[in-house]
Structure 1
Amino acid sequence: MIDQEQVQDRRIVVGVDNSAGSAEALRWALAHARLTGGSVEAVTAWQIPPMYAYAYGWTPTGIDDAGIIRYAEKTLAETVAQVQGEDDHPVPVTTRVMEGPAAQVLLNASKGAELMVLGSHGHGAFAGMLLGSVSQHCVQHATCPTLVIPK
């Protein structure tokens, strides 16, 4: 029998953003958790793009934060259910929707985790240098080992 405290120490945080790459990262994390007795925490970040708030000198008072959160929770739950449905022995997944820039949300969520798993959008090294990316930022700043699943 697996000790519950050991499972907490074996937490795997997965960034899920409704992309094929993040679904693949979730698949990998579930398989790894099943083999190691770990737990999986799927995390989605949301935020209102700053350009909407400041580009024209107005603040977005009419934006429905609760609606955005409900949509993010629904999308995350659907992705988790779809990926878990592919497995004969699904691993339980805890889900979290957090406000903020994706990289910072994932870095905060992964504190104390055994591993963080992220998908790749497949932009390649050159595009990553020009555009930056959530996975690149997380790899550079995470306090736990971070795995990026290639596209």
Structure 2
Amino acid sequence: MGRIVVGVDGSEPSLKALRWAVRQAELTGDSVEALNSWEYPATSWASMMPGMPEDFDPQALATVSLTEALQAALGAEGAARISKVVVIGNPAQALLDRAEGANLLVVGARGYTGFKATLLGSVSLHVTQHASCPVTVVHG
């Protein structure tokens, strides 16, 4: 029994990838890890967001976002069976790092920042070129 890592940013393509990964895991007996990563903007984000609460916690916000995405795609019971991983860092690199030793890495064709006309987004393109395990890119 191994594990399947799937990138989930809350976009519809990532939710399709999540559902695909869960179905694949049912066939193989693997566990599923849903990964969401976040980064601070390159500029000083706090000074650019007036009214930002002092106790603002981007890690907690990303965790809530991932939990809500899992529940929306799989329901509460299905979401409870998925391991949630939230890390700070570049999404492509975070997926590559987490996929070390995994049986499979699953991503949507593109996330929120993808141009609609492109076949692959930057993250899916990068992980297909650099992953140490097989990669499945789920299209619409």
**TM-score interval w.r.t. the shorter chain?**
0.7 to 0.9
On the 8 A contact 1:30/1:90 being kept in 2, the answer is: no
Identical pairs, percent: 39
> What is the aligned length?
131
| Counterpart check, 1:81 vs 2:75 | no
Amino acid at match of 1:16: V
Q: Tell me the C-alpha RMSD between the 2 structures.
A: 2.7
- Following the alignment from structure 2 to structure 1, what is the Cα–Cα distance between the partners of residues 83 and 89? 19
Q: Which has the larger radius of gyration?
A: 1
Secondary structure at the aligned position of 1:12 is classed as strand
Q: 1:67 to 1:146 in 2, by over 3 A?
A: same
- Give structure 1 stretches of 5+ with no counterpart: 1-5
Q: 1:113 to 1:25 in 2, by over 3 A?
A: same
Task: Quickly say closer, same or farther: Cα 1:147–1:69, change in 2 above 3 A.
Answer: same
1:98-119 residue CA offsets vs partner (Å, 9 max, x unmatched): 0111000000010000000000
Write 1 or 2 for the structure with the bigger share of helix: 1
Which of 106, 126, 130 pairs up with 1:137?
Answer: 126
2:98 is matched with 109
TM-score (normalised: structure 1): 0.76
The residue number in structure 1 matching 2:118 is: 124
Letter in 2 for 1:109: R
